[in-house]
Amino acid sequence: MIRTVAVIGAGTMGGPMAEHIHRAGFALTVSDPDPAVRQRFDAMGIATCVALADIQSVDAALVIVGTDEQMHGVARGLRAAAAPPRYLVIMSTTAPAEIAAIERQFADCGTHVVDAPISGAVMAARRAELTVLVGAAKDDFDALQPVFAAVGSAIVHCGKTGAGQMTKVVNNIIAISNQYVAAEAYRLAIEHGLELDRLLPALDLGSGRNFLSRRGATECERRTAPGRKRPKTIARSTLAAKRISTWRYRFSPTACGTMPCWPSGRCWKPRENLPGRTGNVFRVLGEMIAPEHISAKLCQ
């Protein structure tokens, strides 16, 4: 049974998650280099620390940091501790190969490495409505279920260690590719005089439904209720649809295997083709989906 939990990295995502874990009744320690973050948790009566050596003999250490360098630094610190955690849970988004490297690092000390990347952004973290994609042995998944349930509303066992990260990568390849297809469609709609706040609910009734149309349609009925103002959700969906309709890159009729190609002949590189997107998901995709990973012949 999991009783003691350490959250390492209590920032935008990790902070709300730590609070939910505390409310769920776990004995919690928060490790973060930011004095303001530690002070906030100190005021809540939650143990805090900076040095990873101060995290001793916890049942589960959850790592929620921003970069691979930070993640590996945490792993080294915990591995050097006199009593490493029973479970090391990587909840940051990274490549499956990075998880495998950490798993090898802890192979001889009894620590079970689990990957559990999260999806849902800040509002979902605050509401404990994250989706948690878990890669772990079945017994480890079962043991950690109460911790995941404290922060998420959808907990998915994706397979063995590393499967959680791979599931998130695959999901986001599909999601981002769909956004580019939608960009073409929304651009066409705008050029022909369609209003997107009318189009999105209509799409949701047919096979063209997608994330933006679903959000818009959910609110469509509510906005017609007497006395109600235009809901923010449909307004945001319309705004997002208009924004992606202006994305610079267009699909070419050719393709490199299953990856889209652009008229220039270059393969899909998220860091270049998604302006302003710098999150871990885009970084990982940029590293995993590169021209050198696809047959040069297909790319010609």
Chunk the chain into consecutive blocks of 10 residues (it has 300) and report each block's average pLDDT, rounded to whole numbers.
97 97 97 96 96 92 95 95 94 93 94 95 94 98 98 98 93 78 80 86 84 53 43 48 53 40 40 48 54 37
Nearest to 161 by CA among 141, 131, 143, 146: 141
Q: Name residue 49's beta-bridge partners.
A: 31
**What are the sequence ranges of the domains in the chain?**
4-161, 169-247, 249-300
| Pairing relationship of beta strands 112-115 and 118-119 according to DSSP bridges | unpaired
CB atoms within 10 A of CB 283: 19
Residue 259 contacts residue 286 (beta carbons within 8 Å): no
Handedness of CA 21, 22, 23, 24 (dihedral sign): positive
Q: What gap in Å lies between CA 277 and CA 96, rounded to an integer?
A: 21
Given this model, what pLDDT does residue 198 score? 87
Given this model, what pLDDT does residue 287 score? 57
For 252-273, the pLDDT digits (tens) are 433 444 344 433 333 444 444 4
Q: Which residues contact 129 (CB under 8 A, 6 or more apart)?
A: 120, 123, 152, 153
Given this model, what pLDDT does residue 220 score? 41
Nearest to 148 by CA among 171, 115, 122: 115
Residue 54 contacts residue 78 (beta carbons within 8 Å): no
Given this model, what pLDDT does residue 15 score? 97
Q: What gap in Å lies between CA 297 and CA 300, rounded to an integer?
A: 5
**Which residue's structure tokens are 């490495």?**
113
Count of all residues that appear for the chain in the document: 300
Given this model, what pLDDT does residue 176 score? 75
Given this model, what pLDDT does residue 21 score? 98
List helix spans (H) across 81-120: 96-105
Asked if the 4-161 domain carries CATH number 3.40.50.2000, the reply is no
Given this model, what pLDDT does residue 250 score? 42
Given this model, what pLDDT does residue 175 score? 78
Given this model, what pLDDT does residue 247 score? 54
- 108: DSSP letter: T
Residue 216's alpha-carbon distances to 189, 213, 222, in angstroms, are 16, 5, 10
Given this model, what pLDDT does residue 173 score? 80
Encoding tokens for residue 234? 């449909």
Encoding tokens for residue 38? 């530690």
Residue 225's alpha-carbon distances to 48, 156, 221, 222, 232, in angstroms, are 48, 36, 7, 5, 14
Given this model, what pLDDT does residue 245 score? 56
Q: What gap in Å lies between CA 25 and CA 35, rounded to an integer?
A: 24
Tell me, yes or no, if the pTM score tops 0.85. no
Q: What gap in Å lies between CA 80 and CA 74, rounded to an integer?
A: 10
Q: What gap in Å lies between CA 165 and CA 176, rounded to an integer?
A: 16
Q: What gap in Å lies between CA 262 and CA 249, rounded to an integer?
A: 7
Nearest to 36 by CA among 24, 48, 23: 48
Nearest to 282 by CA among 175, 185, 178, 184: 175
